[in-house]
Amino acid sequence: MLNGQLAADNLPRAVRWEEGDLYLLDQTRLPLETCMEKQETAQQVWDSIHVLKVRGAPAIGIAGAYGLCVALKDKTGLAIDEFMAEVENQAAFLDSSRPTAVNLGWALRRMVAMAKASGITDATALYDRLVAEAVAIHEEDIGLCRAMGENGAPLITEGMGVLTHCNAGSLATSELGTATAPMYVAHSRGVNFRVYADETRPLLQGARLTSWELQQSGIDVTLLTDNMAAHIMSQGLIDLVITGTDRVAANGDVANKIGTMGVAILAKHFGIPFYVCCPSSTIDLDTAHGKDIPIEERGDDEVTSFGARRTAPEGIKVRNPAFDVTPNELVTGLITEKGIICEPYTENLRAMFG
């Protein structure tokens, strides 16, 4: 992937639509097994999103859009008003699978709005149009990631150490990822840099996914447990932090995987720039502040166990928020497909995406 060549074809694909069927890479099995799973029902897609077989904000938006097609596939014999009611019901059902990433609701609202505005009066024709819309959402994401890669790549210069948290990579999107897109583009241009990947407890997206996909791409990646970031920063090994996000509020507050805010606070302490890669599909101008973003709470077992092994006493009280909100004042810039946005976020986000 050197000398200006982006080997995008070799990156893992989280979501595939092939001959009218949806396949999801079961990310809970990575990095030990790469297994594409055919999705037969809306319930199966809901479960796949809920248990993180498919995960990452853009990828669950794409999976949700295709999931709506899966839900409607055997309903094309219905009268158009009954079919339209199914479009709305199934979209609401799929949207309930995870609350924090705005891309899921964004993609499903786009599908429903298109169906309502289409004026199509035949269920089979409308189903075909919905499939085309899901494919469009998928293909547009490829372009968004490439543009963020172009806009963010100049931040990564020769010899740098770049820290990232969770997985905002190919596995979380359609192709280059969000936080990883500047890395893939810089790498393709022959820039030598090191990536440090936080392991990201409790579900280990950094260890299982980010370190796997970057290693496969030939990028120099070092895995850290989450509590090592401060020490590694204090040694002068980190020059830049880039993360992804699940939702950016209108004031620039950033929801991302639990632990991201701690990294941002550390970056501020050590004077390290903290950038967030966010496509427009992740910007939620209808949510004024980060405190209004719904934060998913997941099951106790993710915290009381490490893999299959229990690591905490029975009956222990547990908290398991899956995301946190980094206040906008800790964010150096938002890398979007249209360019890098800095403070004042409220004005600049509205000017660019309002």
Which residues of the chain form contacts with ligand MRU (CB under 6 A)?
52, 55-58, 101, 166, 168, 172-173, 177-178, 205, 244-246, 256-257, 322
Q: Which residue has the tokens 């509590």?
A: 227
Q: Which is nearer to ligand MRU, 51 or 191 (CB)?
A: 51
Judged by CB, which is closer to ligand MRU: 32, or 117? 32
DSSP 85: H
Separation CA 182–CA 6 (nearest Å): 11
Output 120 or 171, the one with its CB closest to ligand MRU.
171
Q: For the CB of residue 322, give the shortest distance to ligand MRU in the complex, in Å.
A: 5
Give the rounded distance of the alpha carbon of 169 from its chain centre: 8
Catalytic residue of the set 141, 198, 246, 253: 246
Nearer to ligand MRU, 171 or 238 (CB): 171
Smallest distance from ligand MRU to CB 78, Å: 33
For residue 310, the cross-strand partners are 305
Q: How far is the CB of 346 from ligand MRU (least distance, A)?
A: 22
Nearest distance from residue 245's CB to ligand MRU, in Å?
Answer: 6
Name the H helices within 73-122.
80-95, 102-118
CB nearer to ligand MRU: pick between 12 and 56? 56
Determine the Cα–Cα distance for residues 59 and 171; give it in Å rounded to an integer: 8
Residue nearest to ligand MRU (CB): 244
Instruction: Report, in Å, the least distance between residue 272 CB and ligand MRU.
Output: 18
Euclidean distance between CA atoms 46 and 32, whole angstroms:
24
**Range 267-270 contact pairs with CB under 8 angstroms and sequence separation of 24 or more:** 267/233, 267/238, 267/241, 267/330, 268/330, 269/233, 270/233, 270/234, 270/238
Q: How many Å apart are CA 60 and CA 66, to the nearest integer? A: 10
Residue 253 bears catalytic tag: no
Q: Using an 8 Å Cβ cutoff, are 208 and 28 in contact?
A: no
Which positions are annotated as active-site residues?
Answer: 246
